[in-house]
Amino acid sequence: MSLNLLNLDGRTRQYMQKELEYDLSRQQLHISPYLSGQGIHDFANILREAISEGNEETLAEALSDKRRIARTAHRRQPKGGFHIVSVPANAAEMIADDAFNRYYIRALCCRAIDEDIEHLIVYRARPVQTPRSRSEDLVETAVDPTQLLKDLRLHTGEDTDLGIPGGPNSGLSVHFP
């Protein structure tokens, strides 16, 4: 099921591209452990293409193609060391939703800052069957775009301090008031 990104337009896509280039120039593009060697090699380019003219669904399709998703991954054990796990069947969708939505949110933060919009509103861009209570508490709250942008740039590909977007499959995003 696709994300309903309310403010995704040409201008937002330009800001998304700038944020991707920001990460690439600092060598901080998040690379999922579920990507294969080919996926790691191709990720920046297919993400750039999805941002330019696609969405999270076209990104997931591209990730599912050409063996870009690994079959197994290493997972850290609580007491130290690693073990090998099977990659979830929906790994391409999880990676695509997270990456596309994070760049979308960062883009809206940049637009809000440039356009003197004081806050963004958290909403559920994709319905979920069992929402986390932390996510439910955030829906319809206002968030400062400067703080959110800083948080997302600092925590690429991991849980943020503000809880937005809210972890894997949360469906949380932001929109203009």
**Tens-digit pLDDT profile for residues 143-159:** 999 999 999 999 998 88
pLDDT of 132: 86
**Tens-digit pLDDT profile for residues 74-98:** 888 889 888 899 999 999 999 999 9
Comparing CA positions, the residue from 59, 135, 144, 56 lying closest to residue 108 is 144
Region 20-48 average pLDDT: 97
Comparing CA positions, the residue from 2, 30, 3, 13 lying closest to residue 108 is 13
pLDDT of 168: 77
Do the bridges between strand 82-86 and strand 72-76 make them parallel or antiparallel, or are there none, so unpaired? Answer: antiparallel
pLDDT of 158: 85
Can you say how many angstroms the Cα of residue 154 is from the centroid of all Cα atoms in its chain?
A: 13
pLDDT-derived band of residue 1, with 50, 70 and 90 as boundaries? low
Contacts of 87 (CB under 8 A, 6+ apart): 34, 69, 70, 71, 72, 73
Q: What is the pTM of this model?
A: 0.94
**Tens-digit pLDDT profile for residues 56-75:** 999 999 999 999 999 999 88
Is a pLDDT exceeding 90 seen at residue 167?
A: no
The three-state secondary structure class of 141 is coil
